[in-house]
Structure 1
Amino acid sequence: MEPTTRLDARFSAGGAAPTPWPEAREQLERAETYWLTTVRADGRPHVTTLLAVWQDDALHFCTGAEEQKARNLESNPNCALTTGASSLHEGLDLVVEGVAERVTDPGTLKRLADAWEAKYTGEWHFDLGDGVFVNTAGGEALVFAVRPAKVLGFRKGDYAQTRWRF
C-alpha cells in the first residue's frame, strides 16, 4: 500500500524534498531496535526498547502477557514505534503511529518466527504455542502487528520532515 506523502516545510530546510516512502520502508525493515511507546491506565507514558520485524505492511513485535506494555495495550491499543539514528547531522528517524493488534493465526506466526530468526541471525528463535510464540526457556510471548496510520520521518543533514498517511 502506498501512502500519501507530504513534506512539512515548517520543520524542513529550504529546498528540501520529502523522503520517498520506499526509503523509509527499507529502514523500517533493516532497523535492529525500536522504541515502543504505550500509555498506562493512569495516562502516564511507558517507553521501552524491543526488536521487531516488518512484514505484510506492518511492524510486528512480541512481549510477555505480564509485561507492562502488554497490560497497557490491553486497555489502549494505540501506540508508536520509533527507530533511527541518534546522530544530529545524518540519518533518518522514523515514528510509526498505529493500533497494535494481536496476531494469533498459526501460519502468520510461523512466518513471523522465521522472519525473526532470519533478521536476527538465529539469536532469536521462537517455537509456536497456541496463538503465541514460545521462547527457548518455555516462556510465552504475545505477538502484535502495528499497521501504520501515520509515519513521520525526520531526515537529518538536509533536514526534511516527511509525513506519510495510510
Structure 2
Amino acid sequence: MAAPETELDPRYGEPGAGPTSWADARRTLADAELSWLTTLRPDGRPHTTPLITVLDDDAVVFTTGPEEQKGRNLAVDARCSLTTGTNMWAEGLDVVVEGTAERVTGEEHLRTLAAAYLAKYGDPWRFEVDDGAFTSGGHVAHVFRVAPTTAYAFAKAPHSHTRFRFAG
C-alpha cells in the first residue's frame, strides 16, 4: 500500500507538536492487544465491541461469527471503524481506522492470517481454515480486513492530531 497523505491539524494539538508518522500509527495498530470495532446496525445506530486484531499489510484484520451482531451488521453495511490506544490522557497514542470491511475467503490468505493470530495471541487463538473461514472448537468465524480510507492518530506527549488519507 502506498504511503498515505499525512496532515497535522494544529487546532487539536499543542504548539510545536508535529504530525505522527504512519509508521508509528501502524506500529500501534500492530501491537494492540485489543481494539474496538464500530459497525452500523440496519437502522443506523452504532454497535461497538472489543476484539483482537492482527495487521495484514496496512489493513486491520478481525473475526466475527456470522450470527454475531457485528457480523449481521457487516452483511448489511460494511462501513466501519476500528479504534485502539490507551485510556491515558497524557501518554500513548490512540489510532482510529475508517474503511470498509472486506471478507477474506482465500485459503492461503486465511492460513497466513491464522498464523499471524497464533504468533500474536498464542495457542488459545489457534484457528483452522475450512471452507473460506476460521474454525475453532466447532465455531465458525468469518475473517474481515479493513484497509484504511482515512485514519487518525491522537498523540498525547505532546498532544497532536494527525489525519492519514489513503489513495484508492
Q: Please give the TM-score of this superposition, normalised by the length of structure 2.
A: 0.96
- Aligned match of 1:71: 72
3-state DSSP class of the match of 1:23? helix
Q: Structure 2: how far apart are the matches of 1:51 and 1:13?
A: 32
- Superposition deviation, residue 75 in structure 1: 0.7
Counterpart amino acid of 2:135? V
The C-alpha deviation readout for 1:30-69, integer Å capped at 9, x for no partner, is 1110000001001111000000100122111000000000
Q: For residue 109 of structure 2, give the secondary structure of its aligned residue in structure 1.
A: helix
Residue pairs, 1:82-101, within 5 angstroms: 82-101=83-102
Displacement of 1:3: 0.4
Q: Secondary structure at the match of 1:123?
A: helix
Q: State how far apart, in whole Å, the 2-side matches of 1:114 and 1:59 are.
A: 15
Distance 1:79 1:7 in 2: 23
Residues in 2 aligned to 1:97 and 1:147: alpha-carbon distance in whole angstroms = 8
Partner of 1:144: 144
Give, as a single letter, the amino acid of the residue that structure 1 aligns with 2:154: F
Is 1:58 matched up with 2:64?
Answer: no
Aligned length: 165
Relative to the length of structure 1, the TM-score reads: 0.98
Measured after TM superposition, the shift of residue 99 of structure 1 is 0.2
2:126 corresponding residue in structure 1: 125
Identity, in percent, stands at 50
RMSD: 0.7
Unaligned stretches of 5+ residues in structure 2: none
Q: What is the Cα deviation at residue 22 of structure 1?
A: 0.6
- Alpha-carbon deviation of 1:122? 2.1
Q: Does 1:107 align with 2:108?
A: yes
User: 2:49 matched to 1:16?
Assistant: no
Q: Distance in 2 between matches of 1:10 and 1:78?
A: 27
Q: Secondary structure at the match of 2:125?
A: coil
Question: What letter matches 1:81 in structure 2?
Answer: L
Deviation at 1:90, TM superposition (A): 0.3
